[in-house]
Amino acid sequence: MSTEIIEALLAMKRQQVMDLIQQKINIGENPFAILKACQEAMEQVGKRFETGEFFLSELIYSAEIFKAVSAYLEPMLIGSLREEESRGSIIFGTPQGDIHDLGKNIVITLMRASGFTVHDLGVDVPPQKFIQALKETGSQILAMSAIITPAYNSMRETIELLKEFGLREKTFVIVGGVITNDLVRHNVGADAQTLDPFEGVRLCKEYVAKKAIPHADYR
Amino acid sequence: MIPEATTRRNRFEAAISLEAPDRIPVAPLLVSFPIRHRGLTQGEAWRNLDMAFEAMLDTFDDLGGFDVLFKTNIYWPMLGGRFCNAPIRTLIPGKQLPEDALMQIQEVELFSREDYDKIASIGWNAFWEGHYEKISGKSLSKLAETQNRLMEQYLREIGICEARGIPVLLGVAVDSVLMAFSLCRTLTQFTMDLFEVPDKVQAAMDASCDDLIQNALDTIAITKKPLVHIVLERGSGAIYRLEIFERFEWPYLQRYVDAFISSKVTPWLHLDTDWSLNLPYFKKLPRGKCVADLDGTTNIFRAKEILRNHMCISGDVPAPLLTLGTPQEVEVYCKKLIDEVGRGGGFILTTGCECPIDAKFENVKMMIDIAKTYPGKKREV
């Protein structure tokens, strides 16, 4: 039946996915295993996106299915997934001056589907709030997404503050959004930049897998 | 300087007709940039549109002048009581946003999935006549008063610009049907609708297309500027597969283009996001009548290969380059555009979408100066 869930999700059949999950729960299946099946489906979505078989619309749609599944399963999962068992912890927000969140929300869902714990700080986030969240959570990844150029200053200030607080060396900073490119990455002092949601997830996975390697490897 | 052998307007029109004028026409899309450049806050500009207009004219002069002013001020001219665009909620600097912030839109659902049937039965205009007050808390007649006031201001400003020899381009801005619906439902919900209730979406679009076209034409009848800025962003291959484009964007865009060209109005296709996959379709639109306006995301050099001798291209000095780059980098990029996209004509040098609020003045100036001074490799002696 896991295969059926995966197939239904890849076929973009929201109701079918939800019905199958309901059936599984009714017969006593482990909710964590169901979540894992959905995560596997999302991995497949990512692969198909990278090959061009899927488009952003499929990412949006499948992310919505995954959100609905997670919301349904969450009460049954409490206590079964501790943060230290997650793939890693990420602080994510739209920097101060920008209130857009569509891209951020899609990437957050994909990151969660990949097993990351994501702390979503929302939009128009001041630099100090990013620092505070990093300190409070011990997260080692900071992701910022923006679509208007005034966000450059906020990104730059946030990264400067990271240095002031001695957090820069142990924080992987990734930026994205339509107004970012490599020039922006370099200018604001980030480690990585992407416009591709799944590449963003992949870069975070790689960082977690190779934490010991200096930031320069990602530039 | 390249010796000028024609008027600003003729240079611009020649490029649209795929000719190679005396030099490449240049026209940055200025909205928020002049305000900051002239030392005003965005809030001040929104509170005093006359000051904003003055800032536009002063910036035009500071930049040494260029070929056409896309529009005269920070607002968009609109038709009283009708909508050429989704009636999105805008957040205004000094009101809902900090005093010197960039105006932004707040994307929220303006109608529900259940409303598609109603739109399908009564059309776009009739739907909003009944629905606008519900979502905004404001009366449509009150909004119409504001829209009419802005239109009067726009007409005054056009008169002043043209008395100074500055052509103004914009007759009206209209959302593509897909864009309008996506903004009304939000990108996420609209995408869900396309997957789950495509027939309902299509029926509502079918019933809305003619209203949107007519609203645009009625606006142009007032502005007397025969250019329609068609906002296309969300129907591209960056977001949807071609089957969706073919069903929900392309047929309506064709109807738009046919209607506008029949009325002697130039369709300016404002193509934000990456339209690479969709460009071949544009070869089916009438030759030398439209402009493909690219924002720096679509590969403009590849676009030239596809649309050469068929559609004028405008673009696409990217926002990061104007804000963070150096004048030398802007020079290199603009020369490349002129050499490759400008070769053989049919090219207008513009900013990729709007000139950023925080673009460096010297970068914008460099972009304009290059158009005036660089003839391109083919013409160099």
User: Where exactly are the structural domains of chain A?
Assistant: 2-77, 83-218
Separation in Å, CA of B333 to nearest CA in chain A: 14
Would you call A149 and B320 a contact, using CB atoms and an 8 Å cutoff? yes
Range of the domain at B72: 8-379
How far is Cα of residue A25 from the mean position of the Cα atoms in its chain? 27
pLDDT the model gives residue A137: 95
What pLDDT sits at residue A102? Answer: 84
How many angstroms from the chain centroid is the CA of residue B68? 14
Q: A184, B196: Cβ pair inside 8 Å?
A: no
* 3-state SS assignment for residue B185: helix
Q: Which residues of B touch A149 (CB under 8 A)?
A: 319-320, 323, 356-359
**B240–A55 C-beta distance less than 8 A:** yes
pLDDT attached to residue A1: 55
188-217 of A, contacting B, C-beta below 8 A: none
- How many angstroms separate the CA atoms of B375 and B1, rounded? 9
Distance CA B32, CA B229 (A): 18
What three-state secondary structure class fits B348? strand
User: Is the distance from CB of B132 to CB of B147 less than 8 angstroms?
Assistant: no
- Chain B contact residues (CB < 8 Å to A): 91, 101-102, 104, 106-107, 186-188, 191-192, 194-196, 237-241, 244, 273, 297, 318-321, 323-325, 356-359
- Model ipTM? 0.91
Look up the CATH architecture of domain A2-77.
Answer: Orthogonal Bundle (1.10)
Task: Tell me which residue in A55, A105, A179 faces B239 most closely, judged by beta carbons.
Answer: A55
If one counts the domains in chain B, the total is 1
Residue B162 lies in a domain: yes
Report the CATH fold assignment for A83-218.
Answer: Rossmann fold (3.40.50)
Q: Which residues of chain B have pLDDT under 70?
A: 378-381
Q: Quick check: B228 and B222 in contact, CB under 8 A?
A: no
B91 and A100 in contact by Cβ < 8 A? no
Nearest to B33 by CA among B372, B370, B376, B362: B362
Instruction: Tell me if B1 is assigned to some domain.
Output: no
Could B320 and A181 be called an inter-chain contact, meaning their C-beta atoms sit closer than 8 Å?
yes
Compare CB distances from A57 to B191, B320, B358 and report the shortest one's residue. B191
Asked, for residue B2, whether it belongs to a domain, the answer is no
The amino acid at residue B295 is D
Going by the DSSP 8-state scheme, the letter that residue B97 receives in this structure is B
The partner residue sitting opposite A179, judged by closest CB among B186, B319, B325, is: B319
AA letter at B121: S
SS3 call for B20: coil
Those residues whose C-beta lies under 8 Å from the C-beta of residue A206, and which sit 6 or more positions away, are: A218
List C-alpha distances in Å: B300 to B268, B273, B316.
16, 12, 7
Sign for the pseudo-dihedral over CA of A71, A73, A75, A79: negative
Residue contact A149–B91, C-beta within 8 A: no
Give dist(CA B322, CA A161) in Å, integer. Answer: 26
For position A74, what pLDDT does the model report?
A: 83
Q: Residue A82: its pLDDT value, please?
A: 56
The Cα A137–Cα A108 span in angstroms is 17
Residue B261: closest CA among B236, B291, B232, B233: B291
Q: Does the beta-carbon distance from B104 to A55 stay under 8 Å?
A: no
What is the DSSP track for A138-199?
---EEEEE-SSTTHHHHHHHHHHHHHHTT-GGG-EEEEESTT--HHHHHHHT-SEEES-HHH
Question: Out of A12, A57, A105, whose CB is closest to B239?
Answer: A57
Residues 15-54 in A contacting B (C-alpha not used; CB under 8 Å): none
Tell me which chain B residues have a C-beta less than 8 angstroms from the C-beta of A64.
188, 192
CATH of the domain at B94: 3.20.20.210
Residue B347 included in any domain: yes
C-alpha distance from B34 to closest chain A C-alpha (Å)? 15
Structure tokens at B329: 């980098």
Mean pLDDT, consecutive 10-residue stretches, chain A (219 aa), reads 89 96 92 90 91 93 92 78 72 93 89 92 96 96 94 96 96 94 96 93 92 47
